[in-house]
Amino acid sequence: MMNRRRFLQTSAAAVGALSGLPSLDAAQAEAPKGDRPSQAAGVAVLNPRTRVPLSFLIDDSTPLVNLAHFCIPQFQHAFPGKYPQDWRKLPREIPDAFVRKFGEWCRERKVRGKYSVIPYPACVGWIDRELPGWTRKELDDSLALLRDFMAKDWDFTPEMVTHTRMVDIKTGKPVPEYNAGWMENTWSAGKSYEQLHEYCAYALQGVKDAGLVCQGVTSPGGFAGRSLPNYSKAVFQACRDVYGTEIPFYLKKVHTDDRSVAPEVLCASGLDTDDPKAVVSIIGCTGDWFGGWDGLTRGSVDQFITEDLKGGRLPQVIAKGEPAVLLCHWPGMYFNGEEVGFNILKEIVARLDRAYDHLAWMTFSELARYWSAKELTRIDKAAGAVTFKAPFACPQYTVRVDGPLGKPPSFQGAPLREVARPLLIGSGAYVRDGDAFIACFDLPKGPSTLTC
């Protein structure tokens, strides 16, 4: 508990230091976008390497604990009559052997995304100390698997502290109240910036104490859904306080209709300073059509992409060129040992590979960085040159520049190599595109120049 005690002291100081922030209306529907720089006509920031990003969102995951088995009885108690699932039939553990099997398959196919790590899952035990029912070695081995293997392809986030009952962050114990109003997803409605900041930072610290690195948070259920302005700023400051994250992100929204699913770059400020600020809301584009949060509902590949490769949700999103972020819950991936969700994912990836040649899997932090650089970089265009002033560095920054190409382009004085078509482009390359050209380069923080 020593790290969390220190956290309580530093958290209070951080909240005080932020008292100068403008007050926010908790009833406000959306978080503010903040500052936006000018961007010259005739220059368009494209998707990285002209490809459509994909990402995979895994919720309700954590070392060893099958969250569904332990959370359902708590939900049944807090919300009488709403959760009739027979939790006793569900396995208590999702084994590390499955985590490795899943991770190895994803790595071979370059599938990447976000993986939740709940620090006190369903109040079973703290992952940095002890999980009753498992040995300390089993817990240590599970954390090592995440830290040394999964972290190479997945961003980690807490899904708040327990995903079930509220925790008193002064004691580390569930609050005495045991009803609907004191579950994490409902307590958070309408809460202040200070309350949300303190709770998110406490969750992040719990994962950090277990030796894992997070760059954002995931909302458990409806967490903070009615406090988005306060929540956005709270996530930003909590990630800065605990990890020093440059561009924090969070997952709150899922749109399965015609609304945009492009990442939302929010609360941007200080873009011309040495300390620019922004937080990014990553948006899911599918429902959980794998196996459900309880591992009891068999999903369908066709809801994602049909066998003829034309129908389903993913072709709709890909056609718009927006990131397609697939949603799943870890118990549904494992599906009580039947691996129903995992098998659905395998077929989705096979169909996507048959249908498209212009997709790229990215982690949430990569999406957050790219969209921040895309929206917050100042761009000026003059004869023979495009200048950039970027608050954040960004690899594989890709732009289309209108107008005839007078000479082979260079970036920061280094000539770009020419490729034959857009899908061959990568950092340090360009391709002619009619009366324009497309260039890809690693954008540095601060000023830079593309000469053409």
Q: Which helix (H) or strand (E) holds 408?
A: none
Number of structural domains in the chain: 2
- 317/245 same-domain check: yes
Domain assignment present for 270: yes
Domain that holds residue 444: 377-451
The answer to whether 268 and 35 are in contact (CB under 8 A) is yes
- 290/185 same-domain check: yes
Give me the chain's average pLDDT, please: 93
- 281/385 same-domain check: no
Span 122-133, mean pLDDT?
A: 97
End-to-end CA distance of the chain: 58
The CATH number for 260's domain is: 3.20.20.370
Choice between 403 and 198, residue whose per-residue pLDDT is larger: 198
Transcribe 312-328 into DSSP letters.
SHHHHHHHHT--EEEEE
Whose CA is closest to 384, among 365, 410, 360, 364?
410
Which residues does 229 contact at the CB level (< 8 Å), separation at least 6?
24, 25, 26, 28, 30, 31, 32
Structure tokens at 129: 């100390």
Whose CA is closest to 19, among 188, 189, 197, 191?
197
Q: pLDDT per residue over 80-93, tens digit each? A: 999 999 999 999 99
- 348/390 same-domain check: no
Q: Could you give the dihedral angle defined by the CA atoms of residues 204, 220, 268 and 39, in that order, rounded to the nearest 10 degrees? A: 120
- 251/341 same-domain check: yes
Structure tokens at 70: 């332990």
Does residue 22 carry a pLDDT above 80? no
- 294/393 same-domain check: no
Per-residue burial over 67-76, b if 16 or more Cβ lie within 10 Å, else e, is: bbbbbbebbe
Domain assignment present for 425: yes
Burial class (CB in 10 A: 0-12, 13-18, 19+), 275: exposed
- 406/313 same-domain check: no
Instruction: State the CB neighbour count (10 A cutoff) for residue 208.
Output: 19
Residue 405: the pLDDT is: 82
Does residue 214 carry a pLDDT above 70? yes
Structure tokens at 187: 């307590």
- 353/429 same-domain check: no
- 313/383 same-domain check: no
Rounded Cα–Cα distance for residues 393 and 115 (Å): 24
- 282/415 same-domain check: no
Transcribe 256-316 into DSSP letters.
-SSS--SPEEEEEE-TTSSS-EEEEEEEE-S---SSTTTT-S---GGGTS-TTSS-SHHHH
In three-state secondary structure terms, 178 is coil
Domain assignment present for 409: yes
Q: Which of 319, 345, 368 is the last residue of a domain?
A: 368
The answer to whether 191 and 25 are in contact (CB under 8 A) is no
Q: pLDDT per residue over 414-428, tens digit each? A: 999 999 999 999 999
Domain assignment present for 45: no
Rounded Cα–Cα distance for residues 185 and 114 (Å): 20
Does residue 194 carry a pLDDT above 90? yes
Rounded Cα–Cα distance for residues 366 and 282 (Å): 11
Sign for the pseudo-dihedral over CA of 314, 53, 269, 402: negative
Domain assignment present for 78: yes
Which residues does 67 contact at the CB level (< 8 Å), separation at least 6?
60, 61, 118, 121, 122, 163, 330, 331
Does residue 108 carry a pLDDT above 70? yes
Rounded Cα–Cα distance for residues 15 and 240 (Å): 12
Domain assignment present for 214: yes
Rounded Cα–Cα distance for residues 59 and 157 (Å): 9
Does residue 10 carry a pLDDT above 80? no
Residue 3: the pLDDT is: 54
Categorize the per-residue pLDDT at 208 as very low, low, confident or very high, splitting at 50, 70 and 90.
very high
Rounded Cα–Cα distance for residues 287 and 420 (Å): 38
Categorize the per-residue pLDDT at 190 as very low, low, confident or very high, splitting at 50, 70 and 90.
confident
**What one-letter code names the amino acid at 74?**
Q
Span 146-174, mean pLDDT?
A: 97
- 174/131 same-domain check: yes
Domain assignment present for 42: no
Domain assignment present for 43: no
Q: pLDDT per residue over 26-81, tens digit each? A: 344 789 999 999 999 999 999 999 999 999 999 999 999 999 999 999 999 999 99
- 356/418 same-domain check: no
Whose CA is closest to 266, among 13, 17, 30, 3?
30
Q: Which of 304, 336, 368 is the last residue of a domain?
A: 368
- Tell if the pTM clears 0.75, that is, is over it: yes
Categorize the per-residue pLDDT at 228 as very low, low, confident or very high, splitting at 50, 70 and 90.
very high
